[in-house]
Amino acid sequence: MCWTSCIPHPRSAECRAQGDGEWALGIRAAQIQGRQVRLWAGAGIVADSDPAAECAETRAKLGIMLAALGVRHPLEQGAVHA
């Protein structure tokens, strides 16, 4: 699959082809290794999608996961950026 060459990290939870012609896409995912956590959130983009609404939906999904970890969303006003 040529589109995978533009993904900067190994595919795992977010893309798992089984060879049966069906795709499953995890809209939210987390990977925990020791004290490091990586979070992913995505949206289902279709022809009628509103990019701003999809972006807001993705931010909201990340916000829920961050809140569960006790972390402020980096896009919130006054949040500390690393």
**Structure tokens, 9:** 């990290």
> Residue ranges of the domains in the chain?
9-68
Give the Cα separation of 37 and 67 in Å (integer): 13
Residue 49: alpha-carbon gap to chain centroid:
17
**Structure tokens, 44:** 């289902």
Mean pLDDT of 48-74: 87
pLDDT of residue 60 exceeding 70, the answer is: yes
The per-residue pLDDT for range 10-20, each reduced to its tens digit, is 655 555 555 55
Is the pTM value of this prediction over 0.75?
no
- 3-state class (DSSP) for residue 68: helix
| Higher per-residue pLDDT: 40 or 4 | 40
